[in-house]
Structure 1
Amino acid sequence: MAWKWGGGVPEYPGGLNLQHSIEYWLTLDLLASEQGAPTPCGAVRVRDAAAADVVFVPFFASLSFNRHSKVVPPARASQDRALQRRLLEYLVSRPEWRRSGGRDHVVLAHHPNGMLDARYKLWPCVFVLCDFGRYPPSVASLDKDVIAPYRHVVPNFVNDSAGYDDRPTLLYFQGAIYRKDGGFIRQELYYLLKDEKDVHFSFGSVVGNGIEQATQGMRASKFCLNIAGDTPSSNRLFDSIVSHCVPIIISDEIELPFEDVLDYSKFCIIVRGEDAVKKGFLMNLIKGISREDWTRMWNRLKEVEGHFEYQYPSQNDDAVQMIWKAIARKVPSIRLKVNRLRRFSRFETNRMDETPTRSPWLESQAS
């Protein structure tokens, strides 16, 4: 991506797939760091790789999957797979990769199906992901990787004064009800909650006026359900946060962005799946939350929502800057791994192939 400073910034070409657009925002911020942009620039681009803490890989994996994952005859493989292969060939040929084995490379693959093939070769890298739902522990983990928020789809609730009494709906959910894998809990909750008083639980999507309906619904609700879908996370959590609708998170395997510096218990209710599907459990829990406790969480949502905001120019502690800081916190660990890798570098030895075994089950979830 390149543009002439002062001539405008190119828009993200992903359309409705904007929720997985982190490659765009971080690349934009990094390029702006050397063009005099009005931004805090938590990360600064350097031209000498030896002076860099990490190597940023500006491959738009989510966009590649969304645009090029279908096989177009007479081709036998998708363009997305071809792009991944070319990326791998380029990276491993570089001295920066050989110096660290890729351990100091930052790879953005926010869409759960992004880098579906290359991830098994890029496993030493620092991945920036939405969750670990389709990654085996040998490829991705909190030890080395960063969880980043989705970009919210609904607009921000500016100047929100809709407090407890101004939100008539107790509990809100609108989205796909029937999902595969971990999303089966949505169906169970639907049958448990669909007839409850002051509960809105219905099918919905982003097509048509779906976003407008969701915006109005969340802003009129005290609590918003955030249930695991095909993977442990979804953008609905971040739509809830910017709508100041207290999130009820039901996802046993979810990892939350920036949880090492944010206490989600101050503005979310997190429920185990096995408890949520017990008859009456969820409604009793929600009804037991006092007006005062709800108001404290509502106020906290308004304080933290900026941490989940992608924007250009980036601002202090917005999503872009929070991601850079999360990556920076990985640097000491990266240096330890690279230094340990160099212990015997003066000796020529035959190394075993450390590539993790591919998981047919995980790959089937992407289809």
Structure 2
Amino acid sequence: MPHHATPQHPPAARNFLSRRRVVAACAAVASLALLLAAAPSTEDPNRRRAYLMGPLPGGTHEETVVAAAVAGSFAGASSSSLSPAEAPLPSLGEVGTVCLQTNLSGGIEPTPAPSMFLVPSPSPAENFDDGSMEEPERLEIKVPIAARFDISSSNGIACHGNRVESENCFLKEIIFSLTASNKRLLILQGNPPKDPAHFLQEPISSGLPTMSSDVNGEHGMDRKPVLPPRPEAPLWSTAADEELINAKKEIINAPLTSDDPDLYAPLFWNVSMFKRSYELMERLLKVFIYHDGAKPIFHSPELKGIYASEGWFMKLMETNQNFVVRDSNRAHLFYLPYSSRQLEHNLYVPGSNTIEPLSIFVKNYIDMISTKYPYWNRTKGADHFFVACHDWGPYTTKLHDELRKNTIKALCNADLSEGVFIHGKDVSLPETFLRAPRRPLRDIGGRPVAQRTILAFFAGQMHGRVRPVLLKYWGDKDSDMRIYSRLPHRITRRKNYVQHMKSSKYCICPMGYEVNSPRIVEAIYYECVPVIIADNFVLPFDGALNWSAFSVVVPERDVPKLKEVLLAIPESRYITLQSNVKRVQKHFLWHPNPIKYDIFHMILHSVWFSRVNQMQIE
């Protein structure tokens, strides 16, 4: 099968102020901020707000502080009608990137910052439009806002001198303070890993962890939020919508959990919120499944091979009695039960080098259900989802704008660079290679740490951009690095592929034609620490699971230093990683009859959570 070419995106134009212009602009910003602080406010005087800010890219410490003050003050205000006395503070939970459009005379025109609870933004290919190309006389400062919280005695957050503490265990330094008669604006440096708002905004992993972050055991992910597009309101509201809104409020205020024997806290970004969200899913979630469509493309799951994830989910979803309903009025989600694997198998013309017939088929299907039923049109597809593990799954949506932009796409090919996967709305689907559908748990497990004598192992076909480089530097050249294109017969006589994974400390998981690889889940099955080499890959369940607790992510550029990276990981750290692999394994296992927290429920929870995350709270 031919590899679908990656679309090329035009580079984003970015302008930077000269040092002299920055100083002048910041002086103007400071003056405006002081005017705002002195202005009267209609806010409750007992509520004080704190803004957690990130550094200004390319700016000095002072420039960041001053720009942050105005960004926080004017977020949510219209630039066309902005008045210092009337500019409202944004509502609790706002997050995004505030653009301060600064002209040469020092004028400031901040743009609104959307709420963090909106669906997250598309990839950069679709989401960069700052007007700088049309208005070259304007320059910009971009201020990333990481999160924000209220300071009050009622929510467990307290001020201590020049520091702030909260029950969510983040401690950040105050770098700027603006005091008025009835409100205090605190600008803070940092990004809290356990802030409730941070959990609801699924983090982006476009920047891979550095070597040092992996070695030291820190998560290291680039978790800066992105500007989310505001979803359109549904044409009419339903009782299910109200349930989702109430569920979101409960998740935000989830009670702290530390002693659940079924959930190991270090595996999660916020185990308390995950547990509350999961409990609400079990209690509330209802899914309507369209019965239209004929086999084999519809309702015909394939249960073995590398595309088994979409087939197993379809099988278990369509036979589920807890979540599936026939009454569409009760549904929170609508499942589109087609198979991307069957699309390729039945509609692709070998040698044609085009997947247009597949895309046309999907477009016609969506047009049909949107004409036959009212459900799609109510939200323009925002409460619909499909599950696709074939590499071409994302591209089959390109002829239908609402399907591509609004629908929740659960994809194995979760590539940020392609311009299709929308991080924080779409779901990264684990790719599972099942050899025996009747016994999906066969061969699960591996040797204990003391018997894992191989440092690193990989064997596979040499396609894609990473694997040939891996073979060039490490192929059959180092006894510690067992890297092969195909396992030689002299090797397989003593130890086959699975036995190698069970005997290795680290299992190398490089991307193939696409960023995803079944080896990641295979490594977890065989209790081998995954080493993931795939830039721009959003890891499965990344909104809930902290992958740095049980895997190592290496940038593609560091393949020549791969052994150095692995040897730099202390033995104690490796033992922790391997132990956590065994603990996280339960979340990636298929069961003929699904059990709590297994892969079926984790996928469904990711879709549920995405939909909850879209709901707007006043």
Q: TM-score, normalised by structure 1?
A: 0.74
Distance change in 2, residues 1:228/1:113 (3 Å): same
The 8 Å contact of residues 164 and 291 in structure 1, kept in 2 or not, is answered as: no
Distance 1:185 1:30 in 2: 35
Give the deviation of 1:50 after TM superposition: 2.2
Aligned to 1:25: 312
Partner amino acid for 1:270? V
53, 77, 87: which one aligns with 2:365: 87
The 8 Å contact of residues 167 and 222 in structure 1, kept in 2 or not, is answered as: yes
Larger radius of gyration: 2
Distance 1:87 1:163 in 2: 50
Q: In structure 1, the residue corresponding to 2:306 is in which secondary structure?
A: helix
- Number of residue pairs matched by the alignment: 305
Give the deviation of 1:271 after TM superposition: 1.1
Aligned to 2:340: 61
Distance change in 2, residues 1:102/1:298 (3 Å): same
1:294 equivalenced with 2:574 (yes/no): yes
570, 583, 593: which one aligns with 1:303: 583
The 8 Å contact of residues 88 and 118 in structure 1, kept in 2 or not, is answered as: no
1:151 equivalenced with 2:432 (yes/no): yes
Give the deviation of 1:77 after TM superposition: 8.7
The 8 Å contact of residues 247 and 269 in structure 1, kept in 2 or not, is answered as: yes
Q: Percent identity?
A: 21
Distance 1:14 1:328 in 2: 24
Give the deviation of 1:72 after TM superposition: 10
Partner amino acid for 1:112? D
Q: In structure 1, the residue corresponding to 2:335 is in which secondary structure?
A: strand
Distance 2:445 2:533 in 1: 29
Aligned to 1:332: 612
Give the deviation of 1:12 after TM superposition: 7.0
Give the deviation of 1:85 after TM superposition: 4.4
Aligned to 2:410: 128
Q: Deviations over 1:202-230 (max 9, x none)?
A: 1139xxx99x9321111111111111211
State how 1:206-245 maps to structure 2 within 5 Å: 213-245=496-528
Give the deviation of 1:199 after TM superposition: 1.8
168, 174, 192: which one aligns with 2:459: 174
Give the deviation of 1:157 after TM superposition: 4.5
The 8 Å contact of residues 70 and 78 in structure 1, kept in 2 or not, is answered as: no
Q: In structure 1, the residue corresponding to 2:386 is in which secondary structure?
A: strand
1:322 equivalenced with 2:602 (yes/no): yes
Runs of 4+ in 1 over 6 A off after TM superposition: 76-79
Q: Deviations over 1:107-135 (max 9, x none)?
A: 22221213633344111211010133387
1:268 equivalenced with 2:547 (yes/no): no
Give the deviation of 1:97 after TM superposition: 1.1
Aligned to 1:7: none
Aligned to 1:6: none
Question: Comparing 297-306 with 282-291, which one deviates more in the overlay?
Answer: 282-291
Distance change in 2, residues 1:192/1:59 (3 Å): same
Give the deviation of 1:165 after TM superposition: 2.8
The 8 Å contact of residues 71 and 77 in structure 1, kept in 2 or not, is answered as: no
Partner amino acid for 2:473? L
The 8 Å contact of residues 246 and 297 in structure 1, kept in 2 or not, is answered as: yes
175, 189, 203: which one aligns with 2:485: 203
Give the deviation of 1:80 after TM superposition: 4.3
Gaps of 5+ in 1: 2-10, 35-40, 341-367
Aligned to 2:383: 104
Give the deviation of 1:64 after TM superposition: 2.2
Distance change in 2, residues 1:222/1:157 (3 Å): farther
Distance change in 2, residues 1:287/1:325 (3 Å): same
Q: Deviations over 1:241-298 (max 9, x none)?
A: 1111111111111111111221111111111112223xxx221221233333222211
Distance change in 2, residues 1:128/1:159 (3 Å): closer
Distance change in 2, residues 1:109/1:135 (3 Å): farther
Q: TM-score, normalised by structure 2?
A: 0.45
The 8 Å contact of residues 467 and 510 in structure 2, kept in 1 or not, is answered as: yes
The 8 Å contact of residues 84 and 115 in structure 1, kept in 2 or not, is answered as: no
The 8 Å contact of residues 172 and 201 in structure 1, kept in 2 or not, is answered as: yes
The 8 Å contact of residues 61 and 115 in structure 1, kept in 2 or not, is answered as: no
Distance change in 2, residues 1:175/1:249 (3 Å): same
Partner amino acid for 2:415? G
Distance 2:416 2:344 in 1: 15
Q: Deviations over 1:155-189 (max 9, x none)?
A: 654464x2233122211000012x2xxx3222122
Q: In structure 2, the residue corresponding to 1:184 is in which secondary structure?
A: coil
Q: In structure 1, the residue corresponding to 2:478 is in which secondary structure?
A: coil
The 8 Å contact of residues 71 and 78 in structure 1, kept in 2 or not, is answered as: no
Gaps of 5+ in 2: 1-288, 290-298, 436-440
Partner amino acid for 1:225? I
Give the deviation of 1:301 after TM superposition: 0.9
Distance change in 2, residues 1:329/1:78 (3 Å): closer
The 8 Å contact of residues 301 and 312 in structure 2, kept in 1 or not, is answered as: no
Distance 2:535 2:526 in 1: 24
Distance change in 2, residues 1:22/1:163 (3 Å): closer
Q: Deviations over 1:83-125 (max 9, x none)?
A: 4244223222121111111111112222121363334411121
1:256 equivalenced with 2:256 (yes/no): no
Task: Return the structure number with greater helix share.
Answer: 1
1:186 equivalenced with 2:471 (yes/no): no
The 8 Å contact of residues 171 and 198 in structure 1, kept in 2 or not, is answered as: yes
Aligned to 1:116: 395
